[in-house]
Structure 1
Amino acid sequence: MDKKKQMQFNLNNFLLSTSIALDFVSMNRYKISLGHAKRVAFIALNIGIKFDLSPEELSDLCSYSLLSSIGLNQSSDDKTFCEISNECAKEFTFLNQSENILLYQKEKVDGSGIFGLKDEEIPLFSQIIFLARTLDIMYDFGKENIKNRFDAIEFVKENLDIYFSRQIIEKFFECVKDVSFWQDMLNEQDTMMFIYASLHDFTKALDFEDILKMTTIFHKIENPQSKLIELSQIMCDFYEFEHKDKQTFLIASSLCNIGKLTLGKDLLEKVDELNIYEIEKIRTYPYYTKKILQNIIGFSDITSWAIKVQERLDGSGYILGLSAKDLNFKDRLLQTLYSYNALREDRVYRELFSHDEAIEILKFEASENRFDITIIEDLDKILKES
């Protein structure tokens, strides 16, 4: 492995960590308990094992399951959801790239689904994920409700050859005979233990650029209009960062807003003035960014930069209340770029600021000892020219 160009990366480790963000989106949309993506992966792996899938196939099935809700934050209907999810999945490094798994994740075997596919026309992974997502959304297996288990089994029986194929149902019924199938979904740690125990370790050296493609997906599903990654690239080139420093900084830029997926669109896009409780809730998002990123293998520096975008040199920021002595150059640069990018975006409650207006606001903040004036002056010069 070339440590200047690559890092060790495990896709399922990454997706299990980032699934925390997607779980909040699912919770807000479907009113179900947190842990949905892991429960989908858990159910899918149980069924996949009954099919005697290879270790590589099980790994990919887990990855697709964890990604199955990736399009939810940017969609309001099932067709768009499937299309966005499928496009996002193309940027991820599966062991064996399969076609249209998430595009067809809501197809029904009788042909009454979105795209009209029937029976074997629907990929096996898509069929497994459809059953797992459908049942957990309807019956929320993260809550202990014995009646829901019986209702879920009855629903599956009623939809033989309508929603689900006979072979999928037979494998599912083999799974539910074991009480641990249900009980392990009640505790996220038990769910995680089963998932990791079911998977081989396919950690591999991956180019920073390939990792950035994946992390950028999470950046864009939270904020499609953001130019933060592009701005970061311009400034990394200006400061002549070495390749590794530049790429890891760009990855941090792409992930510094992932915690906002936990907040919900209703709050982030609220037109009226926020009350003190809503402001306090928004201030939690760097905490969730840290919670999401801290368990990703090799991401310690990336996490450190990404969680500090709301810190300020005078100690008035959050979540850690750090001051100038605690914040290095990359911390300060990402803080400044993050704030500049926010000012340059349209919001539902205000129009965007021009470059000059944004710089003036930041300079005032710097005069109050919140930002680094040298970085702001560099931004003014370079971004005005670009």
Structure 2
Amino acid sequence: MEPADADAGIDLAELLAAFSLATDLGLGQPMEHVLRSWRIAERLAERMRLPEEERQALFHVSMLGWVGCIADSPEVAASFGDDIAFRADSYEVDLAGPAGFGFFLRRAGRGGALWHRFRVASTILASGGQHVVQGMQSHCVTTSALAERLELGPGVARALRQFFTRWDGRGVPHGVGGADIAPTIRLLHLADVVEVRYRTGGIEGAVEVARARRGRQFAPDVVDAFVAHAPEVLSGDGIDLPRLRPLTQGELDSALEALADFTDLRCATRAGHSRGVAELAGAAARSIGLPTADVIATRRAGLLHDIGLHGVPVTVLEQPGPLSATDWERVRLSSYYTERVLARPAALARPGAIAAMAHERMDGGGYHRGLSGAALPMTGRVLAAACAYRAMLEPRAHRAALSDKQAVLAVREAIRAGALDGDAAEAVLSAAGNGTRRRVSGPAGLTPREVEVLVLISRGAQTGEVAERLGISRKTAGTHIERIYTKTGASSRSTATLFALRNGLLDPLDL
């Protein structure tokens, strides 16, 4: 069996559910809002006797319905300020008709100078809100494209293109309404809103908003079913995910790449950042000689390391000047969000923990934990160097992109200052094609094979076990161990283990 065909230990439902937690951040809602909305819709679907095929599609549609908000965040921020606050506030208003138009006008240019607010409001009035409509259409197109990349079927993609429709036909696309709307979308329209109202106003608040929007935003039969069963539909703790499709290692990598590409859409200047970091980090980890499992986890961490940015408004990420203390704290929290979002399932916890170290520094000057020295495993050191180098090559709101030569000099200055690990950073530069001033190797000049052996003996493997694990002779394994002791100055397995810990070769997550 090819490695890519092996079971990844994760179901597609678990992966989509994990990504939905990042979507919650972008909506300004507590984590598991999307999951709770699905549960409400699923219970309604059961009571309305929705066919099994539609109920399975309902999970996909629920998990991905709001993902497109990532793609249109820059446009939302340009028109309405803090995109997260804008979406959170939008749950309080029926966005069609005078109430919705008034909401858009009140939010126009929020946070900007008076002239900017006037210009945005004038544009909305003159165009009848057409640029808002275009943003909604773009949202639906990008979301359906993700569904296609994840091979969720044409029915799911079609439904997602109707995400901003309304029962009364006043949504987007205009004129599409009533029975033309997919049953899954009709259920989700109501579930998404009543989940929020239930948390803020209890069952009475949820029922009130459902009745108020009956026949307008919400399908009448869905509202009637909800009102008849609201206590049972809304109550209950815990969320049992459906079993959809176990993923192979190759399918998991492909799915993570798709999600990484969407994550980078949050800021125009970050397009391709996560995939670029992943390739650099994976190649560097391999060249240092980290075990195969660590190489895979480091590359996946590169794909996932910015997922916590969904909790940071675009107005902060694209701030052209210095950040305030409050805004800087929101940026620092993004690494915490990354770790929190990926804490489960188990297949994502390991790369998630590494991903949360992308902005840590060897001297303790990074975030969000302020780890330093031996507390940072080599996987985290490699990722931090790859992220720093790649970011230097990309433009940001507060600076232009650095040239490759400038970035290399900046990385090596960070090594001298003690912020980046020298072996990890030089391996990243080598992977980027910049060469190094010395042969890329592990600490103390260990070869990649010797690093593998050191990791194994530090974890308790005897000479024979090392030989068996690496497919080499016992004599060759013994020679490697002798050379490791000589190069590191170790006199026993315990002192060799201390060397490995000090240099980040033993990941604390594995101990």
TM-score interval, smaller chain: 0.7 to 0.9
CA RMSD of superposed structures (Å): 3.0
1:222 aligns with 2:252: no
- For residue 82 of structure 1, what is the amino acid of its counterpart? C
Please name the residue that 2:303 is paired with. 254
Please name the residue that 1:344 is paired with. 393
Match of 1:201 among 235, 243, 260: 243
Please name the residue that 1:140 is paired with. 197
Match of 1:106 among 147, 164, 168: 164
How far did residue 135 of structure 1 move?
4.5
How far did residue 302 of structure 1 move?
0.8
Please name the residue that 1:9 is paired with. 10
Gaps spanning 5+ residues in structure 2: where?
77-134, 436-511
SS across alignment from 1:104: coil
The TM-score with structure 2 as length reference comes to: 0.64
Describe the superposition over 1:65-86 as per-residue Cα deviations: whole angstroms up to 9, x where unpaired.
Answer: 1221101132133222222222
User: Whole-Å Cα distance in 1 between the matches of residues 314 and 18 of structure 2?
Assistant: 21
The TM-score with structure 1 as length reference comes to: 0.82
1:52 aligns with 2:52: no
1:1-150 map, 5 Å: 5-6=5-6, 7-27=8-28, 35-53=32-50, 57-75=54-72, 76=76, 77-92=135-150, 94=152, 98-115=156-173, 116-136=175-195, 140-145=197-202, 148-150=205-207
SS across alignment from 2:344: coil
- Asked if structure 2 preserves the Cα contact closer than 8 Å seen for 1:10 and 1:203, the reply is yes
How far did residue 132 of structure 1 move?
2.4
Please name the residue that 2:208 is paired with. 151
User: Whole-Å Cα distance in 1 between the matches of residues 168 and 53 of structure 2?
Assistant: 29
SS across alignment from 2:346: coil
- Closer, same or farther: CA 59–8 of 1 in aligned 2, 3 Å: farther
User: Whole-Å Cα distance in 2 between the matches of residues 235 and 13 of structure 1?
Assistant: 25
- Of structures 1 and 2, the larger Rg is shown by 2
SS across alignment from 1:349: coil
SS across alignment from 1:8: strand
- Asked if structure 1 preserves the Cα contact closer than 8 Å seen for 2:361 and 2:420, the reply is yes
How far did residue 306 of structure 1 move?
0.7
How far did residue 33 of structure 1 move?
5.6
User: Whole-Å Cα distance in 2 between the matches of residues 53 and 228 of structure 1?
Assistant: 39
SS across alignment from 2:198: coil
User: Whole-Å Cα distance in 1 between the matches of residues 165 and 425 of structure 2?
Assistant: 51
- Asked if structure 2 preserves the Cα contact closer than 8 Å seen for 1:10 and 1:204, the reply is yes
SS across alignment from 1:314: coil
How far did residue 324 of structure 1 move?
2.6
- Closer, same or farther: CA 210–97 of 1 in aligned 2, 3 Å: farther
How far did residue 331 of structure 1 move?
1.7
- Closer, same or farther: CA 3–57 of 1 in aligned 2, 3 Å: farther
How many residue pairs align between the two structures?
Answer: 365
Gaps spanning 5+ residues in structure 1: where?
185-189
User: Whole-Å Cα distance in 1 between the matches of residues 219 and 165 of structure 2?
Assistant: 11
- Asked if structure 1 preserves the Cα contact closer than 8 Å seen for 2:9 and 2:347, the reply is yes
SS across alignment from 2:157: coil
1:366 aligns with 2:415: yes
User: Which one is further off, 74-83 or 33-42?
Assistant: 33-42
Match of 1:181 among 233, 242, 247: 233
- Asked if structure 2 preserves the Cα contact closer than 8 Å seen for 1:11 and 1:63, the reply is no
User: Whole-Å Cα distance in 2 between the matches of residues 316 and 102 of structure 1?
Assistant: 43
How far did residue 373 of structure 1 move?
2.3
User: Whole-Å Cα distance in 1 between the matches of residues 359 and 199 of structure 2?
Assistant: 33
How far did residue 292 of structure 1 move?
0.6
- Asked if structure 2 preserves the Cα contact closer than 8 Å seen for 1:16 and 1:66, the reply is yes
1:383 aligns with 2:460: no
Please name the residue that 2:112 is paired with. none
How far did residue 202 of structure 1 move?
3.7
1:169 aligns with 2:186: no
- Asked if structure 2 preserves the Cα contact closer than 8 Å seen for 1:105 and 1:127, the reply is no
1:236 aligns with 2:282: yes
How far did residue 56 of structure 1 move?
5.9
How far did residue 335 of structure 1 move?
0.6
- Closer, same or farther: CA 109–320 of 1 in aligned 2, 3 Å: closer
Please name the residue that 1:300 is paired with. 349
User: Whole-Å Cα distance in 1 between the matches of residues 402 and 341 of structure 2?
Assistant: 31
- For residue 88 of structure 1, what is the amino acid of its counterpart? L
- Closer, same or farther: CA 90–244 of 1 in aligned 2, 3 Å: farther
User: Whole-Å Cα distance in 2 between the matches of residues 377 and 133 of structure 1?
Assistant: 48
User: Whole-Å Cα distance in 2 between the matches of residues 175 and 154 of structure 1?
Assistant: 13
Describe the superposition over 1:257-292 as per-residue Cα deviations: whole angstroms up to 9, x where unpaired.
Answer: 111111211222222311223223321221111111
- For residue 64 of structure 1, what is the amino acid of its counterpart? V
- Closer, same or farther: CA 108–321 of 1 in aligned 2, 3 Å: closer
Match of 1:212 among 256, 259, 279: 256
User: Whole-Å Cα distance in 2 between the matches of residues 78 and 211 of structure 1?
Assistant: 24
- Closer, same or farther: CA 200–37 of 1 in aligned 2, 3 Å: closer
Please name the residue that 2:95 is paired with. none
SS across alignment from 2:362: coil
- Asked if structure 2 preserves the Cα contact closer than 8 Å seen for 1:91 and 1:213, the reply is no
How far did residue 229 of structure 1 move?
1.7
- Asked if structure 1 preserves the Cα contact closer than 8 Å seen for 2:359 and 2:368, the reply is yes
- For residue 20 of structure 2, what is the amino acid of its counterpart? S
